[in-house]
């Protein structure tokens, strides 16, 4: 089947779009009758047989008018896409499990409104937009993310059935865009801040001075903090309790891979780290991130948060080089 | 201008594969359009549907509209199923069948009325529209008049608008309608090409249901008192004729229909002739020049062609019956044009088959004794004298010509001739023939039309059902069959001027026949002439007419292959035109850009081309160095361009005009050899 594949590649231009803006010429718009269009044709055939049988001149006129309407509808459906200008926009990062939105700026140079333009990634929900005459609009094509990493959504199908629904014209858009999908955050209590810069001391009890109480154990809690005596008193169904400490003079917070419970899977540990980053950012703490093979220095602020999350998202991926290096 | 995303018209189902119909839920705002479609396509059928069905349709549509307005849920499925089954049963009971034209249309109407009740997805809505197309077609089973044709256009516009609303979302009604009309306007050329060139097939393709031709009016195969006077109540057109020369006098216009030679005391019928007599060809000799004319017969589902007495040349596939009427091989089921030649003075069947003469003397036994007694008084005279005596009796004694005769008993002729003396043409004709036969003269009743009215607008002589008439014929040795019209003796105005002149004002004649005011009559004439054109060019466009038209356009002997080929070519051309029409003016790029490029091109011709990479101001600097005479102007143009392109006054019409003028202000090129 390589011949078929190469035919498909040639016909549907499976290569990504390099030139921007994407302008839809006739070479890349495809059109076929919809099921409604086929039904329409069948209805016309049956009507024609009836008109011949009963010798209905006006019936002939009606059928021919409808046939003409079908042809004209085809032209209009095609023109609904023809000459459309699309510019892909920057894709905001999302957390796994959320909808990623791939923005497209649309520009219409025509004096007619382009209606019911439907955008979708394969197997994803459709976003529909009307584009005013000689105007612009933007649409965000959504993609339901499932796992962290760099998401390459593939090509977008832009389709329309307007005006009569008898034909479906479509075009494949394949902008070079990708979306960073952060791990799905798991919110747990932040690890204790450390007064020192040395990561080696982070998991000692230093700095965690006063016992502050008990709380249910979360996945991120090291086993060392489990209050075994309390656990022994309680029945098995209930979550284990951990000892909580407060106080200390932490200036810097190190969120380290090694701080997460080692019995959790790597993805879970990344999720926990993500939750920590979010919490730390919300508390406006200064924090650093330590991952196997990667370390981000202590800082705070929006940009730091983003680079931390990106590091988490791309952890362990091939060509882990961050996006910025590629774009430079 | 940035319109925010109408976000996610959330499609639950993942994106559809090409060609599949998304199961989109129907928008609330689209429903009134679909109800309008149902009303426009099913509504006009109310004219010929049983009243309960019309009531059902109106009721369900109103109910649906109410549900829509109140945003209530649709009735449960089982209730609809019950309604459908009930309606089908009622239709079967009403029409006696579920097949056939009327029952079929009734079923379609029921489906159309009930479908909106379970309409929840776009697919349901499409079904409604497709049903609408079918229902529109069925209208033409009943009427193909000009108003129906206009309704076609309006209804298609509505259906198209509904589709646009369905697929394009909420828009102002005017926008939708304008778009629908635009689509229709673009579809019209295709319709014309297809109408003209699509190879026509002569129907029917299969046997039509029995009721296919019901409701056609005209003369019938028998005549009893009241048959013709009932027909006279209709102003409908029976046929139109156009004479090659001057039409003859009105009193000579006897259009021959069925001939009745068997009488049972109440009803006249045409008797099936014995095989031998049926085979004998009539011998007709015209005296004087024959009149050539052609008639466009309305469909009446009978074989007679209503030629002028007596036809000497007949159209193909027709013949003169032994009783001298022109008969087509098949009943006339569609409006058809026939060409004839007829002679008003003629001798017909001077030698007649004995079987026919014998039949022309037959009378039922023992009825009408007084009539028989009167006839036997006359029997000794020669036949012409007998006829003259009968006519003189009608003329001189007080007989009345009226549409409202008295009811007659078993001895109908006696009662009519001696007591009531009120009758219409069928009474006079049958009494005359009875008298003749009783006196031993071969005689028979002829039915047909008499007279007609010339429409000055298109020159056609219009003959209506109200011109229906019956007269008598007797056979005279040496002369053959001779026409006698007893009505002419009673009411000469009927023959000379027409029925509206012959009947007093109180008689129930149709309005259209009795138009007193001139302008109304003129209006009617115009309307009927327009109808005649419509009939010939739109409705009468059959395979034969198609060949005629094409050969008139200079295409001899077109066959279906040639027609299909030219059809494809013309449709392709039309498609190209429509495409060009709707093609966005892509090349009509930025006028600013164009004006600047024009200016640069002009400078290039003057020997100083702008490099691709050169910005406007850089270019102006270089021009200033290399061609100081153009410096000022170029500087100005570049300034306008830069301002228009990159400055704040981006869409300034005045600046643009100034930029455009710069080209014109360039000094003329120096010619090298001047």
pLDDT (tens digit, 9 = 90+) per residue, B318-341? Answer: 888 888 889 898 888 878 889 999
pLDDT digits (tens, 9 = 90+) for A97-152: 889 999 888 888 887 888 889 999 988 888 888 888 878 888 999 999 988 888 88
Residue B483: CB partners within 8 Å, gap ≥ 6? B254, B309, B446, B471, B472, B473
Q: Decide which of A198 and B185 is more confident.
A: B185
Instruction: Give me the residues of B, 581-610, that contact A with CB < 8 A.
Output: 582-584, 586
Calculate the average pLDDT of chain A.
80
Distance, C-alpha B266 to centroid of its chain: 39
Instruction: Give me the residues of B, 188-207, that contact A with CB < 8 A.
Output: 188-191, 194-195, 198, 200-206
Do residues B133 and A43 touch, judged by C-beta distance below 8 A? Answer: yes
Calculate the average pLDDT of chain B.
83
B556 C-beta neighbours (distance < 10 Å), count: 7
In the predicted model, what is the mean pLDDT of residues B403-419?
84
What residues does B337 pair with on adjacent strands?
A: B296
Tell me if chain B has a CB within 8 Å of the CB of A71. Answer: yes
Of the candidates B9, B179, B3, B159, which has an alpha carbon nearest to the alpha carbon of residue A112? B179
Do residues B164 and B126 touch, judged by C-beta distance below 8 A? Answer: no
pLDDT above 60 for A200: no
Active site residues of B: 425, 469, 485
Tell me if chain B has a CB within 8 Å of the CB of A132. Answer: yes
Asked whether the beta carbons of residue B8 and residue A73 sit closer than 8 angstroms, the reply is no
For chain A, how many residues are written? 328
**Chain A to chain B Cβ contacts (< 8 Å):** 228
pLDDT digits (tens, 9 = 90+) for B515-548: 667 788 888 889 888 888 888 888 778 787 888 8
Q: Which residue has the tokens 């049926």?
A: B278
Q: Decide which of B428 and B504 is more confident.
A: B428
Do residues B2 and A131 touch, judged by C-beta distance below 8 A? Answer: no
Residue B485 confidence (pLDDT): 92
Residue A247 confidence (pLDDT): 47
Instruction: Looking at the complex, report in whole angstroms how far the Cα of residue A147 sits from the nearest Cα belonging to chain B.
Output: 19
Residue A244 confidence (pLDDT): 66
Residue A37 confidence (pLDDT): 94
pLDDT digits (tens, 9 = 90+) for A231-257: 777 666 667 777 766 544 446 788 888
In the structure encoding, which two tokens stand for residue B298, read together? 């309305």
Q: Which of A287-301, B140-154, B294-308, B554-568 comes out lowest in average pLDDT? A: B554-568
pLDDT digits (tens, 9 = 90+) for B209-235: 656 666 667 888 888 888 888 888 888
Tell me if chain B has a CB within 8 Å of the CB of A170. Answer: yes
Residue A159 confidence (pLDDT): 92
pLDDT digits (tens, 9 = 90+) for A90-105: 888 899 988 999 988 8
Asked whether the beta carbons of residue A58 and residue B148 sit closer than 8 angstroms, the reply is yes
Q: Which residue has the tokens 């008639």?
A: B295
Asked whether the beta carbons of residue A65 and residue B156 sit closer than 8 angstroms, the reply is yes
What residues does B240 pair with on adjacent strands?
A: B296, B462
Q: What is the pTM assigned to this prediction?
A: 0.70
Q: Alpha carbon of A229 to those of A233, A246, B31, B606: distances in Å? A: 7, 20, 69, 99
Complex ipTM, two decimals? 0.75
Q: Decide which of B441 and B226 is more confident.
A: B441
**Which residues in chain A touch residue B183, judged by CB atoms under 8 angstroms apart?**
69, 72-73, 76, 163-164
From the candidates A26, A29, A50, A61, which should be mutated to test the interface with B, based on the most B CB atoms within 10 A? A61
Instruction: Give me the residues of B, 555-584, that contact A with CB < 8 A.
Output: 571, 575, 578-579, 582-584
Q: What are the extents of the domains in chain A?
A: 2-178, 199-327
Band of pLDDT at residue B240, cut at 50, 70 and 90: very high
In the predicted model, what is the mean pLDDT of residues A198-225?
56
Band of pLDDT at residue A195, cut at 50, 70 and 90: low
In the predicted model, what is the mean pLDDT of residues B231-253?
88
Angle of CA points A123, A128, A129, to nearest 5°:
150
pLDDT above 60 for B89: yes
Spatial distance between the Cα atoms of B501 and B63, rounded to a whole number of angstroms: 53
**Which residues in chain B touch residue A61, judged by CB atoms under 8 angstroms apart?**
149, 152, 191, 195, 538
Extended strands (E) in B283-367: 284-287, 291-297, 311-313, 318-320, 326-328, 336-342, 345-348
Residue A32 confidence (pLDDT): 93
Residue B575 confidence (pLDDT): 85
Residue A193 confidence (pLDDT): 75
Asked whether the beta carbons of residue B7 and residue A140 sit closer than 8 angstroms, the reply is yes
Spatial distance between the Cα atoms of B321 and B284, rounded to a whole number of angstroms: 11
In the predicted model, what is the mean pLDDT of residues B596-613?
81
**Which residues in chain B touch residue A159, judged by CB atoms under 8 angstroms apart?**
18
Residue B101 confidence (pLDDT): 82
In the predicted model, what is the mean pLDDT of residues B458-474?
90
Q: Which of A169-183, B6-20, B506-520 comes out lowest in average pLDDT? A: B6-20
Residue B1 confidence (pLDDT): 35
Of the candidates B338, B144, B343, which has an alpha carbon nearest to the alpha carbon of residue B241? B338
What share of chain B in percent tops pLDDT 70? 90
């Amino acid at each position: 089947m390589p011949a078929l594949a190469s035919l498909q590649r040639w016909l549907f231009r499976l290569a990504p779009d390099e030139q921007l803006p994407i302008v839809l010429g006739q070479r890349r718009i495809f059109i076929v009758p919809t099921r409604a269009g086929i039904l329409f044709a069948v209805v016309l055939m049956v009507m024609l047989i009836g008109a011949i049988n009963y010798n209905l001149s006006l019936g002939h006129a009606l059928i021919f008018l409808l046939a003409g309407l079908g042809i004209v509808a085809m032209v209009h459906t095609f023109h609904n896409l023809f000459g459309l200008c699309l510019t892909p926009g920057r894709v905001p990062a999302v957390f796994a499990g959320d909808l990623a939105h791939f923005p497209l700026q649309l520009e219409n140079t025509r004096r007619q409104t382009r209606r019911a333009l439907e955008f979708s990634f394969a197997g994803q929900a459709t976003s529909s937009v009307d584009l005013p005459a000689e105007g612009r609009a933007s649409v965000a094509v959504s993609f339901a993310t499932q796992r962290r990493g760099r998401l390459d959504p593939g090509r977008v199908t832009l389709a329309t059935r307007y005006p009569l629904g008898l034909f479906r014209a479509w075009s494949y858009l394949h902008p070079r865009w990708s979306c960073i999908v952060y791990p799905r955050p798991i919110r747990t209590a932040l690890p204790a801040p450390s007064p020192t810069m040395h990561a080696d001391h982070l998991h000692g009890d230093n700095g965690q001075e006063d016992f502050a109480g008990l709380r249910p154990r979360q996945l991120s809690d090291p086993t060392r903090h489990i209050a075994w005596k309390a656990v022994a008193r309680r029945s098995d169904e209930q979550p284990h309790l951990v000892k909580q400490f407060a106080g200390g003079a932490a200036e810097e917070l190190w969120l380290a891979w090694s701080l997460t419970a080692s019995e959790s899977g790597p993805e879970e540990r990344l999720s926990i780290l993500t939750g920590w980053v979010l919490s730390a950012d919300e508390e406006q703490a200064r924090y650093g991130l330590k991952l196997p093979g990667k370390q981000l220095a202590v800082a705070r602020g929006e940009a730091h948060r983003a680079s931390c999350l990106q590091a988490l998202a791309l952890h362990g991926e091939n060509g882990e080089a961050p996006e910025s290096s590629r774009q430079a | 201008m940035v319109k925010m995303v109408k976000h996610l018209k959330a499609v639950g189902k993942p994106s559809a594969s090409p060609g599949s119909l998304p199961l989109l839920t129907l928008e609330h705002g689209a429903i009134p359009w679909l109800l309008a479609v149902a009303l426009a396509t099913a509504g006009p059928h109310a004219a010929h549907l049983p009243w309960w069905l019309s009531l059902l349709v109106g009721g369900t549509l109103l109910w649906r509209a109410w549900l829509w307005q109140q945003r209530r849920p649709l009735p449960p499925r089982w209730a609809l199923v019950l309604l459908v089954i009930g309606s089908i049963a009622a239709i079967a009971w009403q029409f006696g069948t579920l097949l056939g034209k009327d029952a079929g249309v009734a079923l379609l109407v029921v489906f159309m009325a009930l479908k909106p009740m379970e309409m929840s997805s776009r697919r349901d809505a499409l079904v409604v529209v497709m049903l609408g197309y079918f229902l529109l077609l069925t209208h033409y089973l009943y009427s193909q008049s000009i108003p129906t044709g206009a309704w076609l256009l309006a209804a298609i516009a509505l259906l198209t608008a509904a589709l646009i609303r369905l697929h394009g979302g909420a828009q102002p009604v005017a926008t939708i309608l304008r778009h629908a009309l635009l689509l229709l306007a673009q579809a019209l050329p295709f319709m014309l090409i297809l109408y003209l060139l699509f190879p026509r097939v002569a129907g029917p393709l299969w046997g039509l249901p029995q009721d296919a031709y019901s409701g056609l009016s005209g003369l019938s195969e028998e005549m009893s008192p009241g048959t013709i006077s009932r027909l006279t109540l209709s102003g409908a057109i029976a046929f139109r004729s156009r004479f090659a020369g001057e039409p003859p006098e009105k009193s000579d216009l006897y259009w021959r229909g069925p001939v009745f030679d068997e009488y049972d005391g109440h009803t006249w019928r045409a008797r099936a002739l014995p095989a031998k007599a049926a085979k004998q060809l009539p011998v007709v000799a015209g005296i004087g020049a024959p009149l050539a004319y052609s008639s466009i017969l309305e469909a009446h589902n009978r074989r007679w062609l209503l030629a002028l007495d007596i036809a000497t040349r007949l159209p193909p596939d027709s013949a003169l019956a032994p009783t001298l009427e022109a008969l087509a091989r098949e009943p006339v089921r569609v409006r058809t044009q026939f060409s004839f030649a007829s002679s008003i003075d003629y001798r017909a069947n001077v030698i007649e088959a004995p079987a026919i003469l014998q039949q022309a003397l037959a009378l039922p036994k023992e009825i009408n004794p007084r009539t028989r007694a009167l006839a036997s008084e006359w029997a000794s005279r020669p036949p012409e004298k007998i006829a003259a005596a009968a006519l003189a009796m009608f003329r001189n004694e007080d007989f009345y010509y009226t549409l409202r005769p008295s009811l007659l008993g078993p001895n109908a002729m006696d009662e009519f001739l001696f007591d009531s003396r009120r009758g219409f043409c069928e009474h006079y004709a049958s009494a005359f023939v009875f008298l003749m036969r009783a006196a031993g003269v071969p005689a028979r009743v002829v039915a047909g039309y008499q007279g007609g009215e010339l429409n000055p607008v298109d020159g056609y002589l219009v003959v209506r059902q109200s011109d229906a008439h019956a007269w008598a014929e007797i056979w005279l040795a040496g002369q053959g069959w001779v026409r006698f019209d007893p009505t002419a003796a009673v009411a000469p105005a009927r023959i000379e001027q027409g029925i509206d002149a012959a009947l007093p004002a109180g008689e129930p004649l149709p309005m259209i026949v009795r138009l007193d005011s001139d302008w109304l009559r003129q209006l009617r004439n115009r309307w009927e002439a327009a109808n005649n054109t419509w009939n010939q060019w739109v409705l009468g466009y059959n395979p034969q007419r198609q060949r005629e038209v094409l050969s008139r356009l200079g295409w001899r002997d077109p066959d279906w292959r040639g027609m299909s080929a030219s059809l494809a070519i013309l449709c392709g051309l039309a498609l190209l035109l429509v495409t060009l029409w709707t093609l966005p003016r892509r090349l009509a790029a930025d006028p600013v850009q164009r004006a600047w490029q024009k200016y640069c091109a002009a400078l290039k011709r003057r020997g100083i081309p702008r490099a691709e990479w050169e910005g406007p101001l850089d270019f102006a600097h270089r021009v200033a160095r290399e061609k100081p005479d153009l410096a000022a102007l170029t500087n100005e143009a570049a300034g306008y361009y830069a301002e228009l392109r990159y400055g704040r006054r981006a869409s300034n019409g005045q600046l643009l005009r100034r930029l455009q003028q710069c080209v014109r202000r360039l000094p003329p090129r120096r010619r090298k050899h001047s």
